[in-house]
Amino acid sequence: MARAARRFGAYATVLGDAPARGFSLAGFVARLPQSMTGIGIVLLVSLTSGSFARAGVVAAAVTLAGAVAAPLWGRVMDRAGQARVLVGTALGYAVGVLVVVASVEGGWPLPATVGGALLAGLCFTPTGSSVRARWSHRLRDSPLLDTAFALEAVIDELTFVVGPVLVTFLATTVDPAAGLVVCAVLGVLGSLLLAVQRSTEPPRRPRLHRADRTSRLPFRLLAMVVLASWACGGVFGSMEVVVVAFARERDVLGWSGVLLMCWAAGSLLAGVVAGLVAWRRAPLARYRIGAVVLAVSLLPMPFVGPPWLLGVLLTVSGFAIAPTLIAAVSVVQTSVPAVRLTEALGWSGTGMSAGVATGAALGGASVDQMASTGGFVLVAAFGLLLVVGVLLIRTPTSAGGTPVLPVVPVVPESRGAPDALGQPAR
């Protein structure tokens, strides 16, 4: 009981810092479109055209473009600062989403819709990475950093609790396009709220010294992380399409958001618990365990009949998501130089986004050909690929070498940060 109280106290300490609380809340609003855009596109296109394959192609376009852009925006943020990138990309995202809506509602050719989706995806800023970079700068190598990452994982899952239900409600009760319009509004609002908080923004790194080997990214490790993230994204992207098809087959389309909410709710609860645990295992070991548990939880889904049973299985499966993602972020954070952290997390996000795009496209095709049962087989296959990918990751510690610790640059502290978080001045 005392240990749990101390861990809850860590959450209280992290949230007790007003500036950090402010950028975390803004990040939540800015990330909502990430949980809404995909299912919003699937609902809009499928309800308008009746084709899940067409919907999957458009959804894949937005996530694939986001996969390409994420590490580039992360690199620009590290060198030019977050504020200007957040403002510009938010406006570009809104324009792209509105083009998608106009093209679908107006019956334009598919390439026009895909073009709007590509623009929206290219302007998908790695908001989660930028918020985590702010935490990393604010807490440095404090033990509270794990708690902050756990908090952000919980917020990630909260977006997937709120977002799918909100966009499904709007698309099925107001108008098929209403959910995407709200996505555009939230994306602009959240990014602007985050951009104006300049005091918590990590310092810019206009130029990295070419001779400074400590600033180089461990590309072999990152390649394996990207591969594992791709498989994990495949689980998420295919599940989103398949659950909508599952609900439609049973004439409960309005419940598709609730079913996805069950998945996210299980992950949210696990994320809260993960933040209370004083982990003794290394991040890579936790990542591997989480991947195996997630993959096993997906295996029964092709055999599910009633929607309520799928909801139960999704909730159980969700318990593995947040701890796995928290460990994945920790693997990257402890293996790359601090001055390249946003970029490195962006590459991880690229793998995830590419997987979501692949999963959405293949999920739509599999549903059109083999109904939702075939789609769930695809989801399970991505889960097994995740296990393979994680097993291929080798950090310096896991290989028996010296751990690669992030380089902590000597920079002025943000005003009030050390006192608010109880950290000594560095």
The pLDDT of residue 338 is 67
Distance from C-alpha of 183 to C-alpha of 187, rounded to nearest angstrom: 6
Distance from C-alpha of 149 to C-alpha of 127, rounded to nearest angstrom: 14
3-state helix, strand, coil in the chain (%, to 5): 80, 0, 20
Number of neighbouring beta carbons within 10 Å of residue 47: 17
Distance from C-alpha of 19 to C-alpha of 186, rounded to nearest angstrom: 21
Distance from C-alpha of 13 to C-alpha of 138, rounded to nearest angstrom: 13
Map residue 199 onto helix, strand or coil.
Answer: helix
Sign of CA pseudo-dihedral 304, 60, 321, 222:
positive
Residues 318/270, Cβ–Cβ less than 8 Å: yes
The pLDDT of residue 91 is 93
Q: What is the CA radius of gyration of the chain?
A: 21
Measured torsion, CA atoms of residues 366, 369, 374, 375, in degrees rounded to the nearest 10: 30
What is the average pLDDT across 294-299?
Answer: 94
The pLDDT of residue 30 is 92
| 132-179 per-position pLDDT tens digit | 888 887 887 677 777 787 788 778 878 877 888 899 889 989 999 999
| 24-73 per-position pLDDT tens digit | 999 999 999 988 898 899 889 988 887 877 888 898 888 778 778 877 88
Global pTM? 0.68
Could you tell me the two tokens for 416? 């009030």
- Residue 279: burial class (beta carbons within 10 Å; 0-12, 13-18, 19+): middle
* CATH no. of 12-203+214-405: 1.20.1250.20
Number of neighbouring beta carbons within 10 Å of residue 199: 12
The pLDDT of residue 352 is 84
| 386-417 per-position pLDDT tens digit | 999 889 887 665 444 434 433 333 222 333 32
Residue 327 identity (one-letter amino acid) = A
Q: Give the lowest-confidence range in 41-55, 195-209, 280-294, 319-333.
A: 195-209
| 226-278 per-position pLDDT tens digit | 889 999 999 998 998 899 889 988 888 878 888 988 998 898 888 778 767 76
Number of neighbouring beta carbons within 10 Å of residue 19: 18
Map residue 149 onto helix, strand or coil.
Answer: helix
Distance from C-alpha of 40 to C-alpha of 46, rounded to nearest angstrom: 10
The pLDDT of residue 94 is 95
Find the helix packing angle between 178-195 and 144-169, rounded to 10°: 150
| 333-386 per-position pLDDT tens digit | 777 676 666 667 777 777 887 888 788 889 888 988 888 899 999 999 999 999
The pLDDT of residue 159 is 86
- Residue 403: burial class (beta carbons within 10 Å; 0-12, 13-18, 19+): exposed
- Residue 207: burial class (beta carbons within 10 Å; 0-12, 13-18, 19+): exposed
Residue found by looking up tokens 């991505």 in the block: 382
| 57-71 per-position pLDDT tens digit | 898 888 778 778 877
Question: At residue 295, does pLDDT exceed 90?
Answer: yes
Measured torsion, CA atoms of residues 378, 384, 385, 386, in degrees rounded to the nearest 10: 110
Report how far apart, in Å, the C-alpha atoms of 418 and of each of 103, 337, 414, 422 are: 51, 22, 8, 6
Q: Give the lowest-confidence range in 168-177, 290-299, 302-311, 409-418.
A: 409-418
Question: At residue 322, does pLDDT exceed 70?
Answer: yes
| 197-207 per-position pLDDT tens digit | 888 888 776 65
What is the average pLDDT across 89-99?
Answer: 94
The pLDDT of residue 215 is 62
- Select the more confidently predicted residue: 173 or 6: 173
The pLDDT of residue 207 is 59
Residues 72/129, Cβ–Cβ less than 8 Å: no
The pLDDT of residue 211 is 43
Distance from C-alpha of 363 to C-alpha of 320, rounded to nearest angstrom: 22
